[in-house]
């Protein structure tokens, strides 16, 4: 009887260790891919941010946390999960402003609203960032 208990406990421990290792490898892989996506624009400045939404994707979309990064030629939001990018050429940005309302959603703090125009198509995205004023200055 004791042998069966020991075998079950060892099996559970090995299963837990295997589960933890797989999780660790997935997190490391996610971080490496995230860093690689950010490196594509050679960022001058980046910081954690949340995407509230992209106007062209409509009202029902997945919000997410990630990194907002500013390079010489592009603004990039690299979302962690689900993995997706919002890439905006800096010379296409037509305006930035602070708002608390976007796509029918209201927040208790200011959001950074970035509007851009590519080939005559206007789009916008709202981001929750720690300092909206500083981001507006960087994008000016």
- pLDDT one-digit tens code per residue, 75-128: 999 999 999 999 999 999 999 999 999 999 999 999 999 999 999 999 999 999
Residue 61: CATH number of its domain = 2.30.29.30
In a domain, residue 134? The reply is yes
In a domain, residue 7? The reply is no
Query: What pTM was computed for the model?
Result: 0.86
- pLDDT one-digit tens code per residue, 51-69: 999 999 999 898 899 999 9
Total structural domains in the chain? 1
Within 8 A by CB and 6+ apart from 47, the residues are 67, 68, 129, 130
In a domain, residue 103? The reply is yes
* 14: enclosing H helix or E strand: helix 2-39
């Amino acid at each position: 009887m004791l042998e069966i208990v020991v075998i079950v406990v060892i099996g559970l421990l090995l299963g837990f260790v295997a589960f933890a290792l797989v999780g660790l490898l997935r997190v490391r892989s996610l971080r490496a891919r995230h860093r690689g996506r950010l490196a594509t624009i050679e960022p001058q400045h980046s910081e954690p941010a949340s995407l509230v939404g992209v106007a062209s994707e409509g009202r029902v979309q997945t919000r997410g946390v990630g990194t907002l990064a500013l390079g010489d030629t592009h603004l990039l939001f690299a979302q962690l999960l689900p993995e997706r990018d919002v890439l905006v050429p800096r010379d296409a940005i037509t305006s930035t402003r602070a708002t608390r309302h976007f796509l029918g959603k209201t927040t208790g703090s200011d959001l950074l609203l970035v509007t851009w125009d590519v080939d005559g198509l206007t789009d916008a995205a709202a981001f929750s960032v720690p300092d909206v004023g500083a981001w507006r200055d960087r994008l000016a």
